[in-house]
Amino acid sequence: MRVYDKFYINGEWVDPVTPKSLDVINPATEDVCATISIGSAADVDKAAKAARAAFASYGRSSREERIAILAAIVEAYQNRFNDMADAISEEMGAPTKLAVEAQAASGLGHLATALEILQSYEFEEMAGNSRIIKEPIGVCGLITPWNWPVNQISCKVAPALAVGCTVVLKPSEVAPLSGYLFTEIIDQAGVPAGVFNMVNGDGPGVGTAISSHPDIDMVSFTGSTRAGSLVAQNAAPSIKRVTQELGGKSPNIILEDVDLEAAVTRGVMHMYNNTGQSCNAPSRMLVPRAMLEQAEAIAAAVTESVVVGDPKAEGTTMGPVVSEVQFNKIQGLIQAGIDEGAKLVCGGVGRPEGIEKGYFVKPTVFSEVNNDMAIAREEIFGPVLVMMPYDSIEEAIAIANDTPYGLAGYVQGNNNEEVMAVASQIRAGNININGASGDLHTPFGGYKQSGNGREWGAHGFTDYLEVKALSGAA
């Protein structure tokens, strides 16, 4: 069993100010797989002061110095790549293939992309008679989730360090193993003391302290919309910048001229990826009413092919959800869908047949769903797809936008002009067309209650920079 009882502050592994521990549960077995220390405001204060002191020099470091640091982190990550994949599979139940090819790979990818961008990023430009300089904002508090743990750590830490900021990181206490391993990578890479600091803990104890600390200049938060609102409220008195990547209830509009089997298959499999625990999952499939019955049959057949089980077993395509809390929430929402009269196409409450232990959920499809139902309104964050009929393109777009969220949208059809017309009317930050997804240079973020700001690629640098105008400068 792993024991991670120290924090990383000012380049050293240190004990918490007030000892307090938490068990980490392997969701596939329900067994304790690690213990971590839980921090407090006092630990955050130490980390923030270390980051503030380090910023005095790191904030004025050269591009070449930061390139060398990022290159060293990339190399250290590559050396621990398999360890990272193992940690993610253990802490949040990702099947080995997903942990290796998507979860761990995305963490390395964001670091490598930031290194590439830094080589030629323009920190200065002329506008009229003024020289515009982009400078690091300062000390950044980074609060990350459990569903794509190292992806979200890396896509925040990489641009922050690239532009010259120092950071205080709080990984999720639900899935903290990858965050601890990432911190070991930072240490092994020789990042200067105080530039990167990590304090484990929960939202009330550590997240609140980060978002309200006067020495922290900005907060980047990924998590639920409810928690994001609290972060913004805590940050308001100090007028710090807050960027947020929050929830989603993304529509997947299937047009009449599409290859229905291919489109439904893509949508269903994408929904089940990461056990449905992705904020941009295509959880609402909008289907022409005349095609709904055929689409249901396809969705049921695809769901039947999903192999749910031990994340370490060969052939497993879907693991457990992350925790008992999530399992119970999802079971409650599946039951709510049944009670509200939605048509249960496949799946339902309880564990899959033959599985007696672990937080495994039946992959579930509802149909004949309307936007007044809880399963259409709430972010379930599990392998539950709702299918919704529509009678016109205008109605489909209205249903798609009838949500407080706006993170992602999906459109599938053969007529490119019609596809683009529909995509342009979806109020969301990322639109995926005919199964295509963005790459690590694509800005990622949402409209409305899905957050603000953008991560990934060159756009991900922006939130970590201040803009200074030198008027009359040569």
- Report which residue type is found at 255: L
Q: How many domains does the chain have?
A: 2
434 and 457 within one domain: no
Q: Is residue 293 part of a domain?
A: yes
324 and 234 within one domain: no
* The pairing of beta strand 12-14 with beta strand 7-9: antiparallel
Q: Could you tell me the end-to-end alpha-carbon distance of the chain, in angstroms, rounded to an integer?
A: 61
Residue with tokens 């970590």: 464
Q: Is residue 115 part of a domain?
A: yes
Contact call for residues 247 and 449 (beta carbons, < 8 A): yes
Name 18's Cβ contacts closer than 8 Å, sequence gap at least 6: 40, 42
d(CA 298, CA 310): 26
Q: What does DSSP assign to residue 102?
A: I
> 48: domain range?
2-246+450-471
* Residues listed for the chain: 474
Q: What does DSSP assign to residue 385?
A: E
Q: Is residue 354 part of a domain?
A: yes
295 and 162 within one domain: no
Other beta carbons within 10 angstroms of residue 100's beta carbon come to 18
Res 330: pLDDT? 98
Q: Is residue 445 part of a domain?
A: no
d(CA 19, CA 16): 6
| Interval 26-81: pLDDT, tens | 999 999 999 999 999 999 999 999 999 999 999 999 999 999 999 999 999 999 99
Instruction: Name 26's bridge partners.
Output: 31
Strands (E), 351-446: 364-367, 384-390, 405-406, 408-412, 430-433
159 and 211 within one domain: yes
Contact call for residues 106 and 273 (beta carbons, < 8 A): no
Give 438-445's long-range contacts (Cβ < 8 A, gap of 24+): 440/106, 440/109, 440/110, 440/113, 441/113, 444/155, 444/245, 445/245, 445/407
377 and 306 within one domain: yes
Contact call for residues 331 and 361 (beta carbons, < 8 A): yes
Q: Is residue 189 part of a domain?
A: yes
Res 474: pLDDT? 64
d(CA 364, CA 400): 21
What residues of the chain score a pLDDT lower than 50?
none
Tokens of 29: 């077995």
Q: Is 29 exposed, middle or buried (0-12, 13-18, 19+ CB in 10 A)?
A: middle
Res 182: pLDDT? 98
Res 193: pLDDT? 98
List residues with catalytic annotation: 245, 279
d(CA 338, CA 397): 26
> Rounded to an integer, what is the distance from CA 148 to the centroid of its chain?
5
Q: What does DSSP assign to residue 352?
A: P
Name 421's Cβ contacts closer than 8 Å, sequence gap at least 6: none
311 and 173 within one domain: no
299 and 199 within one domain: no
Residue with tokens 């990383």: 8
465 and 345 within one domain: no
- Domain at 398, CATH number: 3.40.309.10
